[in-house]
Chain A
């Protein structure tokens, strides 16, 4: 058993109606943070305040006004229909029968599952289950909604639908705390983002403010035909090279080098990648992903 602090002295505030993102690599402490704020997990020390109440002492009061959506397929009763699931969870929150059915119908329409309301959840697709998770989490009309990687494993179209739903919820005044691995998702949705690594917050601000943290750097983007992974290690040792990210697209390799603003580095990188058949090379502004990689690989700027 590894003795490791999952979350260490994390402090942040989320404003009412804000979409706040927690970004970080696997095991960084995002889910642990969310679970503590949802009162599912007790901190070994310290406290947190949710809606002005202590997660240690006022867990029952907090639970009435929050809800949680976790990514993945589980979290619904498979043998029950979508409507029966929503009815069950509504009853746990004490939603009066007079308003319950109308609310359930409204939620089913909101998540686009009106047509599948009376189908058993075991017959739902992955995307339908995730939308049902969101409907389930809205039964108590929560003031704060915690979304733990809500689009993980979903296809792009369903992910876009889920993001649209999240925006709609925020427009309706729900405060949202979101964890995600996807930079574009964080950038598209979040008013502010905290980057968490090894249980500590290493940076916090709007997407632009985070990108500004690396404005002293630039990105050299080189597209190659062959995979140049083998030369990355030596390039990373080159003074001025901060990090390297490589992705495949359309059969090519898109290699992004975050570097200090020094002219000679362009030639150094191009020389190193020439054997891998360069298609094009140029400068780019650091994206949120470049910033994130820089933050989690160095932990500080």
Chain B
């Protein structure tokens, strides 16, 4: 891993965020709407159900942001015609994209904070977190799990010029199987199996434990442990995919097209 390149990608994403106001849509407006919708669905409810709605709104916003940023990461280079200069450099594209993903993870965290603020101010949910530190730690890990899935998608986006179509089609299935808006146990069994392979689904579960307070340590450790294993697996898969796809792109020499 080339940390300098990742830092360069991080700083670049930050500068672009400041320079390009369109980021307000996935980073601020979308999670705001998700939370309002979720809280309206669960209107007149209280306790765990409201928390589920707030968590759901937050995760949906974070996922939308992750997906948008992972698609953006490569389309941005295609648009600017910078994939060739990037590939001529000795840096792996994944290192740069990872840096950008970390920036968007931080933005995802601001989504989460915004969601809680909206819930408190507009819906007067009076939420209390039983284990705020634990909750925060699991939230950060969940964000990283989203970012690592985003890296896998970014690798595919190197291959295609239609990343926006892919992004749109990938957005909603994850909303359902991640357990963000309702527990995955309510889904058909095949969908529950899919969610087992999704690190954010384990993260949402762990956040629920941390928020409610009443949990078996083993259950929480299982959630966190599986999430870490899945994050590592995602990173390994992303690295392998980037390697293969970079080779594929070098075989066809089409990275300059937009």
Contact = CB atoms under 8 A, between A and B. Distances in A.
B252 to A, nearest CB: 8
The interface residues of chain B, by DSSP majority, are classed as: helix
Interface string B182-209: 0000000000000000000000000000
Contacts of A151: none
Contacts of A89: 85, 89
A93 B96 CA distance: 12
Contacts of A77: 12, 16, 76, 80, 82
B17 to A, nearest CB: 10
A79 B20 contact: yes
B88 A72 contact: no
A45 to B, nearest CB: 12
B85 A68 contact: yes
Nearest to A69: B85
Interface in A52-108: 60, 63-64, 66-68, 70, 72-80, 84, 87-89, 91-94
B84 A91 contact: no
Report, as a range, how many residues of chain A touch the other chain: 35 or more
A78 B76 CA distance: 10
Contacts of B225: none
B199 to A, nearest CB: 29
Contacts of A279: none
A78 B80 CA distance: 7
A57 to B, nearest CB: 13
Report, as a range, how many residues of chain B touch the other chain: 20 to 34
Contacts of B85: 68, 75, 89, 136-137
Interface string A20-56: 0000000000001001001111100000000000000
Interface of A: 32, 35, 38-42, 60, 63-64, 66-68, 70, 72-80, 84, 87-89, 91-94, 120, 136-137, 140
22 contacts: A32-B253, A35-B253, A40-B87, A41-B250, A60-B90, A64-B90, A73-B81, A75-B80, A77-B16, A77-B80, A78-B80, A79-B19, A80-B15, A80-B19, A88-B12, A89-B85, A91-B5, A91-B7, A91-B11, A92-B5, A93-B90, A94-B90
| Pairs of residues from A and B, 7 with the lowest C-beta to C-beta distance, nearest first | A74-B81, A91-B8, A41-B253, A63-B90, A92-B89, A79-B19, A92-B91
